[in-house]
Each structure stands twice: as C-alpha cells, then as structure tokens.
Amino acid sequence: MPELPEVDTVRRGLTPVMVGATIAKVTLNRPDLRFPLPGRFIARLEGRRVEALSRRAKYLLADIEGGEVLIMHLGMSGRFIVEDRRGQHVPGEFEQQIERLTAHDHVVFDLSGPAKVTYNDVRRFGFMDLMPRAELADSAHFKSMGIEPLGNEMSSDVLAKLFAGRKAPLKAALLDQRLIAGLGNIYVCEALHRAGLRPERAAGSIVSANGEPSEELARLSETIIAVLQEAIEAGGSTLRDFAHADGSLGYFQHRFQAYGREDQPCLRAGCGGTIERIVQSGRSTFYCSRCQG
C-alpha cells in the first residue's frame, strides 16, 4: 500500500502512540523480514525511549534514545497495527470487533504505556534496520536517494537537471527513487494523468532545448506536489485503518482519476477518452491516450 502519502499517514498515526514511549519489549516472530534484522536488534531497542518519528521518502525513521535510528520500510504489504493491550483480552471494548488475523505478525513492540505496535507484512518485502543517526546519510538505503518531492529541492529547475538527456520513459524516471524519492506506481500514474503527459515519452523530452524549464515540466512539478499533498490530507489511498484492529478499510476511497480504471471513461472534463492499461518496466501504467500527449 505504501507510497509517500501512505507512509506519512502511518507516521502521523504512530506518532502519538510511540513518541515519548519507552520500548519495553520487542518480540521477533522470525529472524528476518526481507533482509535479516540487524545484530542485537532486540537488545539495542529494549528499555529505550522513542524520541521522534519522521519520514524520508517511503521510509519511517524512529529516533531511539542513545543515538540510533530505527529504519522501517513497509515494502508492498507492510502495515502497523496499534492495539490497546486490553483490547485483545476484553472483547466488547470495540463493539463490532472482528478477530484480526495475526498471521504475518513479524515484529511486536510492547510500549511502556498500554499500547502495543505490531508490524504485519504478508509479502515480507518490508524491512527494518538500525544504525547510529550519524551513519544514516551514507547508508546503503539513503546514499543514492533522490530529492524529497515535498521538500525544498523540488522545483522544475531541479527536475530539468534530473531529466535532461534521459531516454527512459517519464513513468520510469518518476518511479526511480534515485531521482525523486517517494513516488510509487499509483501517484506517478495520477500525476502524469493530471499533468496531461504521456507516460511513454522520454523524460528528457519535456526539458526544453535551451535548458530553461518547459511549461510541461513546470506543470508536472506542480502536479506532483499537489497530488501528494491532497493524498496526504485524505490520509492516503487504500491503507487499512492501522489504528484499529477491525480489519475494515480506511475512509479514503479511491479518488483516482487513472490508476486502476482500465476501460473506464477518462474523468478529465470534456475529454471523452478511455483509460488504457499498458505495461512499463513490468508494472501497470494507466493513462488516457486522448488527453495525455
């Protein structure tokens, strides 16, 4: 589920639960996620306070008392479930509570308060790592990471530099985390649709020859920011409601204009086209060949 807006939603949800709390106990139900968990994972966390929780691209970062940072990536299917410990043992706390599936609960953080935070990940493409804050920037995860799309560096000037001369399709360039970090398949499709740009076009083709940012590039830059901000405000897309254990879908139903809408009418006013699905770099691209030029 998690692209930048979803990860940010998770960050917001976990902040009041985790920040300031002490990690009383860590339980590992397996020795690895996508990668092996770092050595002495449990000992380095237990008894320490969580000082802050932040996001970089699709990564969640928890500052741990003592100077280390807990790095968490949700992969494709990772999610956090917050439970009041009593909720587990006192049915009726939530009237309609459905027993949640605990298969694929891989890591459990018992906090100093009544809360328990469980990392659940069916496909196990997610991972966690732990290292001193000072080593973060040079770590394998972050050293080649691109700009933060909602950060200060994001502008059509910077995009022009990043895209200049690239033959890769716009779709691939926007998905490349070494250029811009945080966009995923959904929001790339949405941004290109809203900006009216064809996903197959070479990324370099929207940078004008004289080096000045083109109008298309400016539109794309602004659209990316707008789409992400709107998604964050809506609380992400299809994330399950991680704050409760009832298994129900989150409130945010699809406001997608393109993603997942193959064969359905293009929603751009006056377009009248039909959304098509093609495959680029092994992944589905949804777009309207009529209004995306």
Partner DNA sequence: CTTACACCCTGCTCGC
Partner DNA sequence: TGCGAGCAGGGTGTAA
Which residues are catalytic, by number?
2-3, 58, 283
Residue 228 is a binding residue for DNA (CB under 7 A): no
Determine contact, residues 26/68, Cβ cutoff 8 Å: no
User: Least distance from C-beta 160 to DNA, angstroms?
Assistant: 14
Q: Does the footprint of DNA cover residue 239 (CB under 7 A)?
A: yes
Please report whether residue 6 would count as binding DNA according to CB under 7 A. Answer: yes
**Total count of residues recorded for the chain:** 293
Taking CB under 7 A as the binding criterion, the range among 43-51, 109-117, 206-214, 236-244 that sits at the site for DNA is 236-244
Binding test (CB under 7 A) with DNA, winner from 140, 152, 209, 263: 140
The single residue among 25, 48, 49, 104 that binds DNA, judged by CB under 7 A, is: 104
Of 20-28, 89-97, 111-119, 237-245: span binding DNA (CB under 7 A): 237-245
Restricted to residues 196-215, the positions that interact with DNA (CB under 7 A) are 203
Region 66-85 residues binding DNA, contact defined as CB under 7 A: 73, 75-76
Q: Applying CB under 7 A, does 172 fall inside the site for DNA?
A: yes
Find the distance separating the first CA and the last CA of the chain, reported in whole Å.
29
**Which pair of tokens denotes residue 228?**
């992400």
**Closest of 289, 282, 164, 139 to residue 217, by C-alpha:** 164
Residues near DNA, by CB under 7 A? 1-3, 6, 34, 57-58, 73, 75-76, 103-104, 122-125, 140-141, 166-169, 172-173, 175, 177, 181, 183-186, 203, 236-239, 279, 281-284
